[in-house]
Structure 1
Amino acid sequence: MTPHPWSIPDPVEAERMRDVERLGMLDTPPEGRFDQVTSMARRVMGVPAASLALMDSDRLWMKSIRGLEVDEVPREKTVCRTTIARAYNRPEDPVLVIPDAAADPEFMEIPGIGGPDGIRFYAGYPLYGPTGHPVGTFCVYDTEPRHLDAQQIEAFTELAEWAQRELERTAELDRAAEIQTQLLPRPLVGLRGYELAAACLPAFTVGGDFFDHYSRGDALMLTVADVMGKGLGAAILSSSVRASVRGASRVLERYGPAAGAHDTGAVTTLAAEHLTEDCEHTSTFVTALLAAIDMPTGSIHYTDAGHGLALIRRADGRIDPLEEGGPPIGILPGTTWTSDEAVLEPGDMVVICSDGLLDLLDENSDREALWEFVAPHTRPGDLVAATRELVAGRPPLDDVTVVAVRRESA
């Protein structure tokens, strides 16, 4: 018995919906990369409308649509559900072309088909999720009946493959974001007399900012770094920076002089040696600030490699910026960085952030705006919460990272 063109068995539909959910794209904002595909489809195919949509359990939701004023359509009132079912029933020939839907008994009763301004021509191609189930459709529409020749079918298929690649890139980016989040350090326990809070909020799915914190003996080690650029490329290099800094810290702890890993200048210099070729080959650089806090005394050894966004909020509310240091990593091969010193008194809080936060506060990059933002917050958790609220209210154009450590009052 031939399956009904709209039929999808319940167990299969459950698996299909899991693939839709894995994408995590339903009800997300428009994206230029998808709009480029639908806009190009209108020009190449000579049609007034094109869409890229996902089929939810009860609706067809438009991730991108050009030429039609609609965001979503009830699932039972779409031709696209047939395109989805066709991916199962006729996988060897997934393209659904309907020259005149208004004259086809299977579709003529669907709202929006036919009439003075209704859809007559339809061509749809299924789009597939991470495990191979059809999750949506790429479609073109016309208000006049028409046929597609072999060359036009080929062009339509190539456009659909472009849309499919963009969907796959979404899944890859989501996985990259998950891994990047997992690489952030776990909360430290046993920080007697200290409170720490941190956040890394990428402007896009993944970013070039990162922070790190870990213990080396009695010292609390902090790193905030910002790789030039945004997105996946910067994220890849940021992982290399993190590994190089941690590796240099371990090497100096085991084989270096007595100061060992607490010598942030030596750690920066050794890590930069590992990163020189990566920076040269990718034509990029990294700003970073490394700090080692001696927890018994509050003494801070720190190295600023072109970062310039670190301060101590004193217990009485004063702001003491930390001194800026040498150039960013990757600018001048062979650079040797040194350590500067400061003291964290009881009640003081050291704050290190990336320039994405400064950009949100002041378009002119005036560091005093950062000082004013930090000053009212006496505890790390409050500062991080305020940063998250700021980002939520005004989506950043650059990654935003903040790390804060407070020495408890005596």
Structure 2
Amino acid sequence: MAPQVETVRDAAVEERRQRAVESLMLSEHVRHERFDRITRLARLLFAVPMSTITVIDGDRAWFPSSQGIEATEAPRGETFCDRTTDLDALVVVPDAQVDDRFSDLPAVQAGVVRFYAGHPLRDALGNVVGTFCLYDAEPRELEGELLGAFGDMAAWAQQELVASTEMSQAGRVQASLLPAKAVRIGDWEVNGVCLPALAVGGDFYDYGTSSGVIHVGLGDVMGKGTGAALVGAGVRAAVRGTHAAVTAGVDLGITVTQVARSMLTDLEQAESFVTLFEAAIDLDDGYARYVDAGSGLCLVMSPTGEVRRLAGQDRPLGVLPDDHWTEHESTLEPGSRMLVFSDGLLDLVDDEISWWVPIGDLMRAASDVDSLLASIAGLVQELTALDDVTAVAVFRHLPQEASS
């Protein structure tokens, strides 16, 4: 009876482990440089000819990174890593030819591998999702400071395998919350871009139309990473919930104040604040109402090419609990352009003091919204942004431009 119990327990553990591996969503058909730098360094540090990061997936083992091994995968049962995964512990094999646990493996019998060291890599729930491995064709030991260094590198590999993947997944989720396509209605055109400096950024933007009104918003959460992204998602959802009231004519200052009150506890717990620019623009006459909560980064270009700033004096959300926000007014005439952006763009222009000049030049040179956003993305790629760069562009074309 005991073997049957053991089999059931192993099956349950294996099922959980396999789900954890699948949740990593690793691509097998691209180079994983973040893993390769670990295995390259391992070969040098430990003076071994082979090193891998290995994932056991179903009945096979495959290598997100390997050095000194040409194969990209192998049958699971023929690998050291399969047995390290089952043992769920550090395994050091000085000479596999005299170790009954591994002497039957094809690589050992062929004389390709005699020394092996494997360290399990676990996710946050303790599931073994991979192994970090060293191999040598000659017997050897791994002890003392080298054994400690091996553990340190395994921790690095685990961080890259699990934490970086979680960040990438969070980044995909964050991207999925952004508007799916540009707005093009009559003379109006609206689109945006969010280019995080990390996998997950603290910037967010939103736009959409309802009952003849375009709603445009852009925020920047203090901080980076998943925490900032969660705060940003909460603010964006809260602001969206006010769109119907704003369309009906409720003062934007009142609705932003309501959002700030509703998010105050979350912002205090996160020890964060949010700069926000939110606007509602009438599609018929271009009448624009807006709130600037500590942003100050909105430019409007007139049909003749003159640039002016839209800004207010109000503080960001989450600074003081009794703050309130003020609605301002403007007009976008036919032929006008608006660009709202985060402060990451300021790092990419030549003049950070009079930044509206080079950014105004970008607006002036663009033929449409997409070309303006492409110019911004080109700056990010060329100059390597150190902060998130996010922008939303609104063009009200002249009637002949919209029809051409």
TM-score by length of 1: 0.73
User: Unpaired segments of 5 or more residues in structure 1?
Assistant: 1-14, 64-69, 114-119
Task: Give distance in 2, aligned partners of 1:109 and 1:370.
Answer: 65
Moved more, 172-181 or 49-58: 49-58
- Which of 19, 22, 25 is the aligned partner of 2:25? 22
Find the counterpart in structure 1 of residue 65 from structure 2: 62
Structure 1 residue 317: Cα displacement: 2.5
Find the counterpart in structure 2 of residue 82 from structure 1: 79
Is residue 249 of structure 2 the alignment partner of residue 259 of structure 1? yes
Task: Give distance in 2, aligned partners of 1:288 and 1:60.
Answer: 44
Secondary structure of the corresponding residue to residue 74 of structure 1: coil
Cα 1:272–1:59 change in 2 (3 A) is closer
Task: Give distance in 2, aligned partners of 1:349 and 1:170.
Answer: 39
**Matching of residues 42-121 of structure 1 within 5 Å:** 47=46, 53-54=53-54, 60=63, 62=65, 73-75=69-71, 82-86=79-83, 91-92=86-87, 96-100=91-95, 106-107=107-108, 121=115
Structure 1 residue 157: Cα displacement: 7.2
Write out per-residue CA displacement over residues 106-144 of structure 1, whole angstroms, 9 at most, x where no aligned residue: 448667x7xxxxxx74302354799x9987531246898
Structure 1 residue 212: Cα displacement: 0.8
Structure 1 residue 396: Cα displacement: 2.2
Task: Give distance in 2, aligned partners of 1:347 and 1:409.
Answer: 5
Write out per-residue CA displacement over residues 342-397 of structure 1, whole angstroms, 9 at most, x where no aligned residue: 21111111111111122223484652332233331131111112222333334322
CA contact (8 A) 1:380 1:405 kept: yes
Structure 1 residue 54: Cα displacement: 4.7
Write out per-residue CA displacement over residues 269-296 of structure 1, whole angstroms, 9 at most, x where no aligned residue: 1111112222222221111101111110
Cα 1:243–1:365 change in 2 (3 A) is farther
User: Unpaired segments of 5 or more residues in structure 2?
Assistant: 1-17, 400-404
Find the counterpart in structure 2 of residue 222 from structure 1: 216
- Which of 358, 373, 388 is the aligned partner of 1:369? 358
Q: State the Cα RMSD in Å.
A: 4.5
Find the counterpart in structure 2 of residue 181 from structure 1: 175
Find the counterpart in structure 2 of residue 66 from structure 1: none
Secondary structure of the corresponding residue to residue 319 of structure 2: coil
Find the counterpart in structure 1 of residue 272 from structure 2: 284
Structure 1 residue 193: Cα displacement: 2.1
Matched AA of 2:53: A
Task: Give distance in 2, aligned partners of 1:31 and 1:279.
Answer: 35
CA contact (8 A) 1:47 1:142 kept: no
Task: Give distance in 2, aligned partners of 1:143 and 1:184.
Answer: 52
Task: Give distance in 2, aligned partners of 1:339 and 1:169.
Answer: 42
Secondary structure of the corresponding residue to residue 75 of structure 1: coil
Matched AA of 2:205: F
Find the counterpart in structure 1 of residue 396 from structure 2: 407
TM-score by length of 2: 0.74
CA contact (8 A) 2:111 2:137 kept: no
Structure 1 residue 235: Cα displacement: 0.5
- Which of 367, 370, 373 is the aligned partner of 1:378? 367
Structure 1 residue 329: Cα displacement: 1.1
